[in-house]
Amino acid sequence: MLISIALIFIMGLGMAYICKKMNIPRIIGMLVTGVVLGPNVLNLLDTSILDISADLRKMALVIILIKAGLSLNLEDLKKVGRPALMLSFVPATFEIMAYTIFAPLFFDISRVEAVVLGAVLSAVSPAVVVPRMVQLIEEKYGTEKGIPQMILAGASLDDVFVIVIFSTFLGMAQGESLKITSLWNIPISIILGLLLGAIVGYIISMFFESFYKSNNHIRNSEKVIIILSISFVLVAVENWLEGIVPISGLLAVMSMALTIAMFSVKGVVIRLQAKFGKLWIAAEVVLFVLVGAAVDIRYTMSFGINAIIIIFIALFVRSIGVFICMIKTPLTIKERLYCIFAYLPKATVQAAIGSVPLTLGLPCGKLVLSIAVLAIIITAPLGSFCMDHNYKKLLKQEK
């Protein structure tokens, strides 16, 4: 196992560095590393690593959500208002609808399985989008109209919305029936997840505050361990209450992190953001390399042109959803086009949940994972290129 871990980090980071030098997203290098090291090519990874890969990917997803919750600013949300709120669910809903309608025409899957496929593929990638929006804020491109803040807020909430939708329809796919009454579980799951996370986050922030006032400081590394441990418990709560009451453990994690950010000292929040940022460096490598290892590249390539066509059809429909979110805003056509570019890349969420249907033994599992990986390979470089080479042309720099 130790050799496998060493190979994952050394080769994963090495390929990420090479891709970065070639102006390709780092995650592509990590995916390629996983494919090469995996059982379908060189078979260099220990089976004990592959056996727990689903749990390791879930841990990486929790870290992403904590990082997003700590970074999300409610003031920015209020500033950009309605468009940011619409961006959190309208584009993803449009893309899910596209897969639901068109996927059964291209592949031998049921309508419910098509919804699961759409839920996996409809999330925008924070790993690709967030660093670029931070760069725009630093260089003051589009900041006068709050464009990068709007995309940051919308993209963060978009991921949570998609994960909740995915969890709901995954349960329906396992039951092999689509019950309209089950859709009520979605708002209930969201509300209870937000409420649980807010309560737990407030208790944690007061706990940290009590130590701060008494001059018995808790080290930031210890705070990270506490937050991470409680996050794992929140995710487990969802499983404990399954069949009793629907609740989104992942949404509770993000709500908890957001509440901690609201009620904690600003300096503490900044240090926690930095700590989780460093933790994400390792989690990102593990996540994408293990996803690549789960892919049978020959099976993925067998879908050929059909998979590529359905991905671009869904992106086109998604772009219509983004454009609708921009209606009645002061944004110009160029600025709206940039928002569409920012919502193209897929990566993080697809890597985290793309293999779940396969792990659960769903008939569509291999198809979902293969198209998810293909979507990452296509859209991550495409979205990155469009954002990096057009922001100076499409956005106005604030003086």
pLDDT of residue 12: 93
Residues 191 and 248 sit within 8 Å (Cβ to Cβ): no
- Report the distance separating Cα 229 and Cα 209, nearest Å: 19
pLDDT of residue 114: 92
- Report the distance separating Cα 90 and Cα 87, nearest Å: 6
Residues 6 or more apart whose CB falls under 8 angstroms from that of 125 comprise: 345, 346, 347, 348, 349, 350, 376, 380, 383
Residue 113 CA to its chain's centroid (Å): 20
Q: H or E stretch including 77?
A: helix 74-80
DSSP bridge partners of 141: 397
Per residue of the chain (399 residues), give pLDDT as tens: 889 999 999 999 999 999 888 877 788 888 889 989 988 888 889 888 888 877 887 788 788 778 877 876 666 666 777 888 899 899 999 999 999 999 999 998 888 889 999 999 998 987 778 778 878 887 889 888 888 888 887 887 787 788 778 877 887 777 645 555 556 766 787 789 889 999 999 999 999 888 766 667 788 889 999 999 999 999 899 888 877 888 878 778 888 998 998 888 788 888 898 898 888 888 888 888 887 887 777 777 777 789 999 999 999 999 999 999 999 888 999 999 999 999 999 887 887 788 888 888 888 888 998 898 889 888 988 888 899 889 999 999 887
Residues 145 and 84 sit within 8 Å (Cβ to Cβ): no
DSSP state string for 305-343:
HHHHHHHHHHHHHHHHHHHHHTTTSS--HHHHHHHHHHT
Q: Output Rg (C-alpha) for the chain, integer angstroms.
A: 20
DSSP state string for 242-278:
TTT----HHHHHHHHHHHHHHHS-HHHHHHHHHHHHH
